[in-house]
Amino acid sequence: MIELRWLVFGSGHRVLQYRVREREVRSTMGSDGNPSWVTEHTWTDWSDVPQVLCGFDENGERKVMDRAL
């Protein structure tokens, strides 16, 4: 699962960020002495979504000009 958020600064500048939910499955020992599987979900750190700036070439096709973070 991916979660998105807008990080808004006091100046009004906004940055779109994302994080991904990761799943971890591990074995633990239950109170009865039998192993059991436990699934835990954790989130990655927030990262900025890269912005791709596009322009148009002489044929009218979109062309990536620059990649900004």
- The pLDDT tens digits for 16-26 are 999 998 877 67
Q: Which of 20, 55, 57 is nearest to 66 (CA)?
A: 55
Q: Which of 52, 41, 45 is nearest to 5 (CA)?
A: 45
Torsion of CA 52, 56, 61, 65, to 10 degrees: -30
What are the helix and strand counts (H, E) for the chain? Answer: 0, 6
Rounded average pLDDT over 6-31: 85
Higher pLDDT, 49 or 61: 49
Kindly report the pTM of this predicted structure. 0.55
pLDDT above 70 coverage of the chain, percent: 81
Rounded average pLDDT over 21-40: 76
What is the per-residue pLDDT for 46?
94
- 8 Cβ partners below 8 Å, 6+ apart? 14
The domains of the chain are located at 2-68
